[in-house]
Amino acid sequence: MKPYPWLPAVLRVGLLGMLGSSLIAIGRLPEMIQADRVPGPALVQRLTQALGGREIAASLSMLGLAVLLLAWSRLREARYAPHQLVVFVAWVLPLLFIDGFNSNDPRAYLENGWSLNDGLNPYEVGMCHPQSPVRVDTGWCGQTAIYPPLALRLFQVFAWPRAGQPYSGLLGLRLLSLIGIALLWWAIRRLAASAKVDPSYAVWLAVLNPLTITQGIGGLHVDLLMAGVALAGLAVAWTRAGLVGGAIVVGIAAAIKQPALLVAVPVALVPIGLNRGFLRSAGRVLASVAISVATFAGLSVASGLGVGWLNAADAPFKYQNLGLARMVAWAQAVIDALFGTHWAGFGIETIRMATLIAGALLIGYLAIRYLDDPYQFLVAAALIWAVTGGAFREWYLILWAAALPLGRLGTSMRVAASVLIPFVGFYLSMTMGMRLNDKLAFAIALAGALLVNVREPLVGPKPPAVVAEPVAG
């Protein structure tokens, strides 16, 4: 008998995913070189020249994403469960040295960190400062910081903005992504028992999915750190620290990015399944939210930066995105063109405000509806926030993906996961990479997402698992 019978299969899926990640990284090289964000050696320069235009590079990224999706679908098999960490390392290694994944956000993080180290307040001084070493997309010039104060202080510490090359600062930011993925991995395994799901399956769906890997680690988005800290707060709620300890950790996560406050609801309702009654359950939810908000406010004061992000809260709505408001506006334009009506006269701002209000009301309703099923609330609310928040960005789904294995995963949610996870990657590659028209990119990305699900859905039903219920306290 061979000493390591599992090795060939693990090598195959690990190398397949590494190939996908490598193609994504190679497709990013032209953008990195062009913006002088990497000290390019001769080999990298020659490779960049060989790639030619932006379209070829973006096509490589799309191909890499498709390969990574294939590897992820194979990793679902139970035989890979003991070797998930080895596979994860192989998949992310090529992504550790790129400066993002078709997004300007990492450079915004770096500019905010540079501003703080130079004695400037990012809530008062806009980006593209004349003395800044960071080259931010011109569309962001003059824009003040939109991130909460703890995130800005983390950018100040981890971005190393005084280093000779901005690229080294971006590598520093990747430490935040790795901390976030480590916290998420730890938390989801702890929480799997309470959701009656196999821990390895939970890690496969929440941590190892291509959305989290490409957008969280490759893309450097702070949403991954936020999700990791927030889910860690939910895991803390199952310990002796209980509601108070969990809510405080969630407040810390919200000071990194605000949607973490959604996790305050399930924090209030563990241990799950107790018959507390409506009034007591609602009271615990209000207490949890209050503690999280108070922690957020306390960190805002302690940071010395305050709540200046409120002044820029509408900034993401100004840029091309797939928010529900823009989707409704597209539909209005089509109806007007076909029937000669004038529905488009409502304006994008009116539609955006309507979708924001509708989303908030729906989340409030779900908080009441799922008092006895808080994990299902979190899965549904995280998706609703991402879609109805006015400015849907692909990485906003990281929190939703992190919570997915905790929910019931009915047919509709499985379909959403199977389609959205590949769709957002394809769409981002075409709009930010190829600079395609957003409507054309939407159609192609949707077709690609459906195509990768032809043989079988990427996300199937939860596998049966016999796990013990965690004991609170």
Q: Is residue 42 part of a domain?
A: yes
Give the pLDDT score at 467.
Answer: 46
Give the pLDDT score at 442.
Answer: 80
Judgement on whether residues 401 and 260 belong to the same structural domain of the protein: yes
Give the pLDDT score at 342.
Answer: 63
Q: What is the mean pLDDT of the chain?
A: 84
Average pLDDT score over residue span 81-95: 93
Give the pLDDT score at 27.
Answer: 83
Tens digit of each residue's pLDDT (9 = 90 or more) over 133-146: 777 777 778 888 88
Q: Is residue 466 part of a domain?
A: no
Q: Is residue 464 part of a domain?
A: no
Average pLDDT score over residue span 267-276: 81
Indicate the residue among 79, 98, 117 that finishes a domain.
Answer: 98
Confidence class for position 334, pLDDT limits 50, 70, 90? low
Average pLDDT score over residue span 104-113: 86
Judgement on whether residues 211 and 69 belong to the same structural domain of the protein: no
Tens digit of each residue's pLDDT (9 = 90 or more) over 308-325: 888 877 776 666 666 666
Give the pLDDT score at 320.
Answer: 60
Cis status, amide bond into 271, omega within 30 of 0: yes
- The residue among 162 and 443 whose pLDDT is bigger is 443
Give the pLDDT score at 95.
Answer: 94
Average pLDDT score over residue span 343-352: 64
Indicate the residue among 98, 116, 136 that finishes a domain.
Answer: 98
Give the pLDDT score at 1.
Answer: 46
Domain count, the chain: 2
Judgement on whether residues 46 and 110 belong to the same structural domain of the protein: no
Q: Is residue 461 part of a domain?
A: no
Average pLDDT score over residue span 392-419: 91
- The residue among 346 and 211 whose pLDDT is bigger is 211
Inform me whether the pLDDT recorded for 425 exceeds 50. yes
**Global pTM value:** 0.90
Give the pLDDT score at 469.
Answer: 46
Q: Is residue 286 part of a domain?
A: yes
Average pLDDT score over residue span 279-296: 95
Inform me whether the pLDDT recorded for 50 exceeds 70. no
Inform me whether the pLDDT recorded for 118 exceeds 80. yes
Judgement on whether residues 94 and 207 belong to the same structural domain of the protein: no
Average pLDDT score over residue span 334-351: 65
Q: Is residue 258 part of a domain?
A: yes
Judgement on whether residues 240 and 351 belong to the same structural domain of the protein: yes
Judgement on whether residues 70 and 118 belong to the same structural domain of the protein: no
% of the chain exceeding 70 in pLDDT: 81
Inform me whether the pLDDT recorded for 412 exceeds 60. yes
Average pLDDT score over residue span 200-206: 95
Judgement on whether residues 276 and 198 belong to the same structural domain of the protein: yes
Judgement on whether residues 207 and 319 belong to the same structural domain of the protein: yes
Lowest average pLDDT, out of 58-62, 107-111, 419-423, goes to 58-62
Give the pLDDT score at 345.
Answer: 53
Judgement on whether residues 200 and 244 belong to the same structural domain of the protein: yes
Indicate the residue among 98, 133, 157 that finishes a domain.
Answer: 98
Judgement on whether residues 74 and 132 belong to the same structural domain of the protein: no
Judgement on whether residues 246 and 315 belong to the same structural domain of the protein: yes
Q: Is residue 469 part of a domain?
A: no
Q: Which domain holds residue 123?
A: 99-451
Judgement on whether residues 90 and 107 belong to the same structural domain of the protein: no
Q: Is residue 472 part of a domain?
A: no
